[in-house]
Structure 1
Amino acid sequence: MLSKIGLRARRSGSVFIGIIGLLGLAINTCPQLLKPQRRRIFWLLFKRQLYNSGLRAASINTIIAMLLGIFVMSKAYAVIPNNTQFIDYYAQFFNIVVNREIGPLISGIILIARSASAVTAEVGQMQLYRQFDALSAVHMSPALVFLLPVFFAFPVSLMLMFFYFNMICVLTSFAMIELYHEGGITLVDYIRALLQQLTVVEVAVSMAKAMVGGCLIGLASLYFGYHVEDRFTDVSRAISNSNTFQLFAFFVLNIGLSYLVYL
């Protein structure tokens, strides 16, 4: 048992070292963007990746956000009195439950399940059929074509997912307030109460979760896809290992940041 634990620890350590290596490679590749021709290629691939990972996930993100807004609102009414001060209590409840914790976690899970898996499969297929060698043969950097678009697009996508997830939750919860609350509350009053709960620290923590979490998810998907070998089943194994690692690492990141800042 101890030997298995040690083996898993060594494998996890090698994954983190590999991801750090990819981070260094991405930073070293960034100067290539100074060349106009390579910058145009990067920009096209970046927009494609941003559209696939962030914008096309809006529908599933919206549905989950609506359901969560209804669920949180119903639970809030079960524990908070229905009076004129309800909006202040619920704004605090919404900020702690949705903005700090559930919103980032669900957005990260959607990004992992929907986009990171696709990147791992795409890179794994290319590695399986040695297409990276073909890119190198025509003097095209694989880091420019695959690494940099994912490295920049995933954090931006996760930030966008945070934003519209929270916006849909806000609108859905306000609709529930209009349905159940006794007394007139406007949307402006509700948004003002929510903004009063936000601090600079909370905004910075949310941005850190998106930036660090997005980079971690993107680099991990590339790492596991690139380590596909000669068997076709290696692709599915790479996707499974990548998703497992990303979920664990993203949960640890979110819980760790929340624990350090808010407790």
Structure 2
Amino acid sequence: MDLHSFGHEMKRLRRGLAARLALMSPRFHHLLPTGTSFKRIDFRWDEHGEHLMVFLPGIGDVAEDFIRRGFIERVRHHGVASGSVVLDAHYGYYASRSLHALLRRDVLDAADKEGYQKVWMTGISLGGFGAASFAAMHPDRVAGLLLLAPYLGNESLIREIRQAGGARHWEPGRITEDDYPRRLWAWLKHAYAAGGTDMPIYLGYGTHDRFAPAHRLLEELLPPANVCALPGGHDWRTWERLWRHFMQRKDVMGR
């Protein structure tokens, strides 16, 4: 392993440890400091293109993972978007409830100024939750979602929806201001079970993923062609295969 790879793996190790501790107690939130803006990595291949792809990482991942795993190169190679931005949106931004405001100001508003007409959001695991929950609150700002193994709420909420017979039959009940998972599912029920949106969602997951029960509930709301389930778990090897699948398809992002 060269020094660059070693440094990357150490960064991932620190990020994963800090996230696990922050999940255990707010006392450790300082290990994931948030700034007034995201750290980001920008790519643009076509100055006149209209599509931007935004990437949100998982809870133990870092922005560079999307580059090292070939995600950005596949976007460029297949002509899926004219530009991409990778955000180092770690768990600290979720814990501080600043994720959505920064996405709106630093990504969506900035994309408008840069001439992009459509913004697609891609998220893995926790990043999938971030992308989907943002779309639920700002459906007019997002053209579509590509979600790989998204976190969609805790076991209690997923069990509640499953026992109701799926999102179509589930009733959200009272939703508190900070209950983003329940708010997300209420939007999914309204928008996709009742046909209240034209925003496409593409879902990919491993059949042995620990979040697969939630993925199957979301799958019930989507066109079969928009879902890809492959043998695999909650890991990058599975996500790379899913990404290749979606990038090779000509119907993704209206190509």
With the length of structure 1 as denominator, give the TM-score of the two structures.
0.25
Q: Which has the higher strand share?
A: 2
With CA pairs under 8 Å and 6+ residues apart, which has the higher RCO, 1 or 2? 1
Give the greater-gyration-radius structure (CA): 1
The structure whose residues are more often helix, as a share, is: 1
